Amino acid sequence: MANILRNVVVKGAKSSTRTRTNYIQRDVIRPTKLMSTISTADPKRVDPREAYTVKLEYEGTDTSDVKDIVNELTLGPGHVKLSGLFSKDDVDNARDTIMYLAETQGSRATHFQGKGKPETQARVWNLLNKGQIFEKIIQHPKILAILDPILGDDCQLGSVAANVLFPGGSGQEPHIDYPYWDYFSKKHWPVPPKSPEIQFHMNIQVTVMLHDFTKENGATAVLPGSQKNIHYPDDADSFYANCIQTEGKTGDVVMFPGLINHCAMPNKSNKPRGALLMQYLPKYIRPMEDQRRLLQKTVMQRATPQLRRLLAVDYPYPAIMDELDPINSEGANSDFDWK
């Protein structure tokens, strides 16, 4: 019963009054007035994690097409859809958990929604602490086999979060993802890094569709080929005129480099549209979510070697070099064996 959440209450950010169980909510569970306008939360609703056992067994693990997929992502249109990676039960559990959290957590930081708009997007952050199913999804062997040749076989998970667009949700500003997301002001970047000078990808995004993605409900829009250059999509009209929407079935996975111009589109349907968003980065990028600091002890204790690697748990830098063991820790002939 390791993956059961009990409603843990942490009173106020500064107070140390905590009840510790498997999962910790950082705030009192308190749907805000705003969220209650977009949710049908029933406070007595059953937590979907209580009734589901996560098994670390994978389907869709055939990697014979990985080379082609890597080519499509880097040199081709820049987006691929993969089907059959997760069972219906796993995807149902991920979606139900996220909807449960979105409807009970209160409002949170959103992402590229724009200032002063009504809150019709809900973000659920730091999912590694919020359900064992997410530990499973982020380690899918096929996804990792595609990421390794692009980001390095010591790439890390920079974030795992969800984006729910409620009916009427306005979608997002066309953008590029972390860590390029401040490229709208080039002065943040010391040398204008234009392709082909960009030899290294610094982000691959992996989205799991938690509902069918349709044009009507805001399927993520991408501008094919735009990952080959670095350009902040500041001309929204040109983006909308040339983008395509990544439609698919519940459980399908879409991958694209964070450099591709993209955004969530408006949800014009009468049902929510949920996306599980996983961000993978080379190890030298500072990750977006501070997962190592916040990770529950129980999650760390049961972490597979793969999960430890994805969280760079054993990567020692930045280090206090004065305090490291007096050994030769770098280079091909070193004792440095964190991988």
Ligand X SMILES: O=C(O)CCC(=O)C(=O)O
Residues that bind Fe ion (CB under 5 A): 177
38 SS3 class: helix
Taking CB under 6 A as the criterion, which residues in 286-315 touch ligand X? none
Give the nearer residue to Fe ion in terms of CB position, either 146 or 275. Answer: 275
CB 86 within 8 A of CB 54: no
User: Taking CB within 5 to 8 Å according to partner kind, which of ligand X, Fe ion, none is near residue 264?
Assistant: ligand X
- How many CB atoms neighbour CB 129 within 10 A? 21
Show the site string, 211-230: x = touches ligand X by CB under 6 A, - = not.
---------x----------
Length of the chain: 339
CB 226 within 8 A of CB 78: yes
- Amino acid (one-letter) located at 213: F
H helix count then E strand count, the chain: 9, 9
User: Taking CB within 5 to 8 Å according to partner kind, which of Fe ion, ligand X, none is near residue 135?
Assistant: none
DSSP 306-328: HHHHHTTTT---S--GGGS-SS-
Show the site string, 248-277: x = touches ligand X by CB under 6 A, - = not.
--------------xxx----------x-x
The single residue among 95, 111, 211, 309 that binds ligand X, judged by CB under 6 A, is 111
- Amino acid (one-letter) located at 54: V
Give the nearer residue to Fe ion in terms of CB position, either 22 or 279. Answer: 279
Taking CB under 6 A as the criterion, which residues in 182-201 touch ligand X? none
User: Taking CB within 5 to 8 Å according to partner kind, which of ligand X, Fe ion, none is near residue 240?
Assistant: none
175: which residues sit within 8 A by CB, 6+ positions away? 112, 181, 232, 233, 261, 262, 263
- For residue 299, the minimal CB distance to ligand X (Å) is 23
The two most distant CA atoms of the chain are separated, in Å, by: 63
Give the nearer residue to Fe ion in terms of CB position, either 259 or 303. Answer: 259
Residue 304 CB-half CA count within 13 A = 14
Give the nearer residue to ligand X in terms of CB position, either 105 or 220. Answer: 220
Query: According to the binding rule CB under 6 A, does residue 177 interact with ligand X?
Result: yes
Show the site string, 125-164: x = touches ligand X by CB under 6 A, - = not.
--------------------------------------x-
- For residue 117, the minimal CB distance to ligand X (Å) is 14
Give the nearer residue to ligand X in terms of CB position, either 58 or 112. Answer: 112
Closest CA to 276 of 115, 114, 167, 157: 157
Closest CA to 133 of 208, 229, 52: 52
Residue nearest to Fe ion (CB): 177
Q: How many Å apart are CA 172 and CA 164, to the nearest integer?
A: 12
Give the nearer residue to ligand X in terms of CB position, either 97 or 220. Answer: 220
User: Taking CB within 5 to 8 Å according to partner kind, which of ligand X, Fe ion, none is near residue 111?
Assistant: ligand X
- Chain positions contacting ligand X, by CB under 6 A: 111-112, 163, 177, 220, 262-264, 275, 277
